[in-house]
Structure 1
């Protein structure tokens, strides 16, 4: 393990420092409140980035029974675990789990407009 924990909190990750120095990077220890702020900002940015790849709004209302989704010409199953779901209120397709497309993936959604 690179960082060990004790009853008093984390102990400095000396291996991290060695790797940073070997790569000619900059190493500094941050006070605890700053660490939390940086981690919170990172997690928010990561969530925003992921959602930008996971949520797609359709141009019109779709008949849910007719929706077909492909990523890079491969069909994706309708599934809230590792597939896609459709929100009739927001007219959006949301990808879930392993079905979240990679950056620059080709996404094709076909459907008939209107609801039955």
Structure 2
């Protein structure tokens, strides 16, 4: 590992930290109290926090992005560290579940999901 590698590592770290600081400032200015109240409701207990973390990770397919967003929320004061721990735990669980779904052959049961979806659309009014 040469000096060029060390400088590249430190430069990347500096850009990452600067981006986190910009994101925190922007979130705090844009979201304000409304975002804080939404996050408090979604992460009011451990189970909800884990489920929110797993759901966000399932949607965006990246536990790293989820973790960076949560750290930004904590840094800007929109979330507490206690809330963030459970969301990050859920993000890691979501990544594990996503990996398992990819590893398993779910193509065999995909028609069952299609049938259930069509049935729900046809027979459920609201």
State the TM-score, normalizing by the size of structure 1: 0.28
- Higher RCO, Cα 8 Å, sep 6+: 2
State the TM-score, normalizing by the size of structure 2: 0.26
Over alpha carbons, which structure has the higher Rg?
Answer: 1
- As a proportion of its length, which structure holds more helix? 2
